[in-house]
Amino acid sequence: MAGTGVFAEIIDGEVYKYYADGEWKKSASGKSVSIINPTTRTPQYMVQACTQEEVNKVMDAAKAAQKLWARTPLWKRAEFLHKAAAILKEHKNPIAECLVKEIAKPAKDAVTEVVRSGDLVSYTAEDGVRILGEGKLLVSDSFPGNERSKYCLSSKVPLGVVLAIPPFNYPVNLAVSKIAPALIAGNALVLKPPTQGAVAALHMIHCFHLAGFPKGLISCVTGKGSEIGDFLTMHPGVNCISFTGGDTGIAISKKAGMIPLQMELGGKDACIVLEDADLDLVAANIVKGGYSYSGQRCTAVKVVLIMESVADAAVEKVKAKMAKLSIGPPEENCDITPVVSESSANFIEGLVMDAKQKGATFCQEYRREGNLIWPLLLDHVRPDMRIAWEEPFGPVLPVIRIGSAEEGVHHCNASNFGLQGCVFTRDINKAMMISDAMETGTVQINSAPARGPDHFPFQGLKDSGIGSQGITNSINMMTKIKSTVINLPSPSYTMGSRLAKKEYQKTKRSAISFLPSYPERNNTQQPLFLRFRSFLFFYIGHLSEQVLATIRFFRLVCLLPPALTVLLIPAIGYGLNDTKIHGKKNK
């Protein structure tokens, strides 16, 4: 049960504490913020309303802890994360209970979110060791006009303090997708959870606390956005912001200054259906993609753009599947549960009424009870209707009939958003052409939009965001490149050549002293054939000297065919012993 057992220390009476400097604390403000249960529409939990001064203390502690954490061996950072992941999955039920009561997430989906989050943390630990354990070496003579006199060693180092702000719809999963990359990279982490979902996030943070992370490295501050929101995002102690949410992110990006930003700000994900599409597959994906968690997903299908020739048949198949959806409270694992707040329900209703006034066809009767809105499909939607462009974040889906694939792509690209899209067709060439033309971060072929798997790149264009997410991209984004250049007094291959020659001289003295040599005499006293042979052997010997500068003599002999070895040994021997042949010393 939430707030009991190992989680008992995170609550004081009826108010959940905030987490700072390795301890669970009550705010000096003496104030709290209520969290409304979307199903009952009554207060469910209360959290601390932190002050700006408490935020300052959190930042100071984070900065100090980060310096020590950055010097912690990479393998040890990974061990901490693996331990946190195991604890998180062990205590999945109390955290899932919070998700059910705070954001009306169906019970089975709530458990899945927590388990998925644990898997994400473990994968991040492994991926982080691989990514951060690799460096890069550049040599200067790879660029024209340079000798090999400089070596550049590059590696990834942490940014400092990362501020993570997840959304209400995945307050655990999208929190750890920011926390784990930040920590494995050597950063400190300050979490500002959403109000709806804050208690689930606090339980999740306690799992990291139980894993034994150093004090001050991880913090979680709760409170009103009007009090600490801007103060956090503009705080000089923040070195990076990872935000998932709505229009608030645009304001943050304007105020954040010169720090790295990772932002996902929503979407109007289009589903383009061509004439040759498998309509059963289309219907299944539209219902799953459009109505899972009552449509409260950034990657939910938000508009269907379907060819007129197959629209009637596809709409009937979608309606048949929608009729099987269960509607009710999240505790009963219903498919459609209440949306997160009354204000959200009112916004959705406004879009529906606008479409009704402008002539959209209602495939079902519009029905609402409190925050619970029955799933609705709107056919014959036109571009002049608000729902054609605005993101409802609810169980309402518009269908726009098109005459060509180009028309569908044009509508998709006319949107201010560019998160994801999808196309259904049996023609892979058409699918790839449409994918190339769609101005979105990701295009799914023959499947509804989706964020996962969590190690896949996830990014938006236009008003859908800045930067790319996914485990690998997040680790890279939360680090910076540090280079060290080694300057040599002379090109390294020159030095290598001298060293090789010196080593070769040692080899010559020790390895080939057994080779026969001719008696010392003046060249002019030698017969002509001997002088010619001496010249030939001298020439061959000098050629072999270049080979032996990098390959030891015995290794060369062992690798050569026996017949060639018999011929080459005397040649090399006479060439190397040219002191006796020519009566002078080699330089």
Write the single-letter amino acid at 290: G
Dihedral sign computed on CA atoms, order 499, 501, 503, 505: negative
Cβ–Cβ < 8 Å for 160, 188 = yes
pTM of the predicted protein model: 0.84
**Structure token digits, residue 128:** 């982080």
Specify burial of residue 409 (Cβ count, 10 A radius: 0-12, 13-18, 19+).
buried
What DSSP designation does 519 have? P
How far apart are alpha carbons 242 and 261 in whole angstroms?
A: 6
Q: Hey, which residues does 136 pair with through a beta bridge?
A: 154
SS3 per-residue string spanning 3-65: CCHHHHHHEECCEECEEECCEEECCCCCCEEEEECCCCCCEEEEEECCCHHHHHHHHHHHHHH
Amino acid 109: pLDDT: 98
| Helix, strand, coil in percent for the chain, rounding step 5 | 45, 20, 35
Amino acid 491: pLDDT: 86
Amino acid 494: pLDDT: 65
How far apart are alpha carbons 541 and 195 in whole angstroms?
A: 83
Amino acid 568: pLDDT: 46
Amino acid 518: pLDDT: 42
Amino acid 531: pLDDT: 56
Specify burial of residue 489 (Cβ count, 10 A radius: 0-12, 13-18, 19+).
exposed
- Phi/psi of residue 432, nearest 5 degrees: -70, -35
Distance of CA 369 to the CA centre of its chain: 39
What DSSP designation does 233 have? H
Per-residue pLDDT of the chain (587 residues; tens, 9 = 90+): 898 999 999 999 999 999 999 999 999 999 999 999 999 999 999 999 999 999 999 999 999 999 999 999 999 999 999 999 999 999 999 999 999 999 999 999 999 999 999 999 999 999 999 999 999 999 999 999 999 999 999 999 999 999 999 999 999 999 999 999 999 999 999 999 999 999 999 999 999 999 999 999 999 999 998 899 999 999 999 999 999 998 899 999 998 889 999 999 999 999 999 999 999 999 999 999 999 999 999 999 999 999 999 999 999 999 999 999 999 999 999 999 999 999 999 999 999 999 999 999 999 999 999 999 999 999 999 999 999 999 999 999 999 999 999 999 999 999 999 999 999 999 999 999 999 999 999 999 999 999 989 999 999 999 999 999 999 999 999 999 999 999 999 887 765 555 545 544 554 444 444 444 444 444 445 555 555 555 555 555 555 555 454 444 444 445 545 444 444 444 444 444 444 434 443 43
Nearest partner of 242 among 546, 552, 478, judged by Cα: 478
Amino acid 542: pLDDT: 53
Amino acid 3: pLDDT: 86
State whether residue 396 is helix, strand or coil.
Answer: strand
Write the single-letter amino acid at 116: R
**Structure token digits, residue 386:** 């608000």
Structural domains of the chain, ranges and CATH numbers in brackets: 5-265+476-484 (3.40.605.10), 270-453 (3.40.309.10), 492-582 (no CATH)
Amino acid 566: pLDDT: 44
How far apart are alpha carbons 459 and 473 in whole angstroms?
A: 10
**Structure token digits, residue 211:** 């894993």
Distance of CA 531 to the CA centre of its chain: 73
How far apart are alpha carbons 250 and 268 in whole angstroms?
A: 17
**Structure token digits, residue 180:** 């784990």
Amino acid 554: pLDDT: 46
Amino acid 545: pLDDT: 54
What DSSP designation does 214 have? P
Cβ–Cβ < 8 Å for 190, 221 = yes
Write the single-letter amino acid at 447: S
- Write out the catalytic residue numbers: 264
Distant-in-sequence, close-in-space partners of 19: CB < 8 Å, separation ≥ 6 = 10, 25, 202, 205, 206, 209, 218, 219, 220
Cβ–Cβ < 8 Å for 438, 406 = no
**DSSP state string for 430-493:** HHHHHHHHS-SSEEEESS-----STTS-EE-EETTEESEESHHHHHHHTEEEEEEEEEPSS-HH
Write the single-letter amino acid at 563: A
**Structure token digits, residue 298:** 């950034």
- What's the Cα-to-Cα distance from 495 to each of 142, 149, 374, 500, 568, rounded to whole Å? 18, 10, 78, 8, 29
Distance of CA 371 to the CA centre of its chain: 34
Nearest partner of 220 among 240, 197, 236, 239, judged by Cα: 197
**Structure token digits, residue 471:** 């485990």
**Structure token digits, residue 455:** 């190690």
